[in-house]
Amino acid sequence: MAKTIFQKIIDREIPAKIEHEDEQCIVLHDIQPQAPVHLLIIPKRPLARLSEATAADQALLGHLLLTGQALARKLNLGAGFRLVVNNGPHGGESVPHLHVHLLAGRQLVWPPG
C-alpha cells in the first residue's frame, strides 16, 4: 500500500508546520485552513478511517481527542472549538489516514456541510 501524505510527513519525507508531536500522534497546521485555527491531529500508526477502528484502537482514539483538548487550552480557544472526523468520500475524507480536524478562531455554524 502506498504511503499517504500524512505518513510521508510523519516519516519526515515531506515538510510540514508541526504544532505538537508525541509518541502516538503528530499535529500539523492544515495547508488549506477552513478557519483561523485549523490543525490536523494524526495518529502515527496508520488507520485508514474511523469506520475501520476496532476496540483495540480505543486508547488511541481517546488520545487524539484529549490532544485536541490540550491544544485548544494551549492556544487559548476558550470561546469554543470543533473537533471533526471525516469518514469516506461522502463524509469529506480526502486522505485515507484517520485524522481529527481542530477548527477554531471564528464562529462555526451548524449544520457544517
Catalytic residues: 99
Closest Cα to residue 25, out of 65, 58, 80, 84?
A: 65
The grid coordinates of residue 104 equal 477554531
R_g over Cα of the chain: 14
The CA–CA distances, whole Å, from 43 to 26, 57, 81 equal: 6, 11, 20
